[in-house]
């Protein structure tokens, strides 16, 4: 992305805009000079649909002199395109974060689905760490020990001391005496071709440079691809009333790559229910980011989020060395979805 810091840009605030409005500044690289403005903006806002990009241009695009820009304007090399908007009205998030375990060094919580762990442009105050800091104003130190996707629920460790934080991250990076187990509900049964219900799966992966979303991974055996290993155990299978087959799958991580479980399951013909990126249509990912999911999208996805849950984390305590096993029960949305299905 060719976004530049507002502090490094020189521009005039358009007449009539609220003083509280803020700008995202996009620099036009020479190689795309002459493109339509809506095409350029669409290429920069990778999680945004083309229709949404056009609407953003019509409602918020100005040049550095404060002149309104239109979707069919042609961009110039090194031009600054400013997208003006009000400060984010943050999307509400779940704020009930159950504590699973706590000692002097660590806080283990059951992260609810749809709660981000890291601040983003859209979520700054409504994040796991901000909620915990607000609930524990006297805690001198709280730091995320690892990450989970916003839609993924389950076990998360939050460091309470710097010494624990350093030791935990070193241990997780080395994967020394660490076991991470997830539960997924999938469309269909994962099948590597031999009918096995429990197996170890090795499949390299790398960023899909041809996918415009900029975050999707793809299977790869090319030099430089990330080594990725997941173990799968199909615990049960059920069907919907219409006959569609589903599986509840226990997933173990031997490596910890971004989107690893979701990509591996999709490559085995059993994507995670509700997965907007590796499911039946990755265009739903952009529509969800724009708040523009259709009723047809919701029917296709079946759940508002992907059905993946960090069920268990086992490791030796980074400070004391004692065994530490944290488990989080299956969340209500996944439990109710599974309970509504029928025996095969």
Residue 184: phi and psi, rounded to 5, are -125, 145
Burial environment of residue 207 by CB neighbours within 10 A (0 to 12, 13 to 18, 19 or more): middle
CA gap 17, 139 in Å, rounded: 40
- Provide the 8-state DSSP code for 290: T
Q: Which residues of 173-194 are buried (b: 16+ CB within 10 A; e: fewer)?
A: eeeeebebbbbbbbbebbeeee
Which token pair is 337? 């979805």
Active site residue 96: no
Q: What is the DSSP string of 240-288?
A: -TT--EEEEEEEEESS--TTHHHHHHHHTT-PBTT-TTTSS-THHHHHH
Please pick, among 38, 149, 165, 333, the residue that the annotation labels catalytic: 149
- Cα–Cα–Cα angle for 177, 178, 184, nearest 5°? 150
At 17 the three-state DSSP class reads coil
- Positions marked active-site: 149
């Amino acid at each position: 992305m060719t976004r530049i810091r507002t502090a490094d840009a020189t521009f005039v605030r358009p007449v009539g805009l609220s003083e509280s409005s803020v700008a995202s500044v996009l620099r036009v690289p020479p190689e795309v000079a002459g493109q339509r403005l809506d095409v350029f903006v669409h290429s920069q806002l990778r999680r945004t649909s083309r229709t949404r990009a056009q609407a953003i241009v019509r409602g918020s695009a100005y040049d550095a002199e404060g002149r309104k820009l239109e979707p069919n304007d042609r961009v110039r090399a090194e031009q600054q395109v400013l997208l003006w908007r009000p400060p984010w009205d943050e999307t509400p998030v779940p704020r009930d974060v159950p504590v699973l375990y706590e000692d002097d060094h660590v806080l283990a919580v059951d992260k609810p689905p749809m709660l981000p762990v890291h601040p983003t442009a859209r979520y700054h105050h409504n994040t796991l760490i901000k909620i915990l800091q607000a609930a524990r104003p006297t805690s001198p130190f709280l730091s995320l020990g690892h990450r989970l996707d916003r839609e993924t629920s389950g076990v998360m460790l939050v460091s309470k001391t710097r010494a624990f934080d350093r030791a935990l991250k070193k241990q997780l990076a080395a994967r020394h005496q660490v076991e991470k187990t997830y539960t997924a509900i999938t469309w269909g049964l994962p099948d590597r071709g031999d009918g096995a219900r429990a197996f170890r799966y090795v499949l390299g992966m790398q960023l899909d440079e041809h996918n415009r979303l900029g975050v999707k991974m793809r299977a790869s055996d090319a030099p430089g691809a990330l080594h990725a290993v997941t173990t799968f155990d199909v615990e049960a299978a059920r069907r919907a009333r219409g006959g569609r087959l589903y599986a509840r799958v226990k997933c173990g991580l031997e490596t910890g790559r971004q989107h690893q479980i979701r990509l591996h399951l999709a490559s085995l013909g059993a994507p995670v229910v509700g997965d907007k990126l590796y499911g039946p249509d990755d265009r739903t990912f952009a529509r969800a980011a724009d708040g523009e999911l259709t009723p047809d999208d919701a029917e296709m996805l079946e759940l508002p989020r992907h059905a993946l849950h960090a069920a268990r984390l086992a490791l030796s305590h980074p400070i004391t060395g004692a065994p530490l096993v944290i488990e989080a029960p299956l969340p209500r949305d996944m439990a109710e979805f599974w309970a509504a299905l029928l025996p095969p």
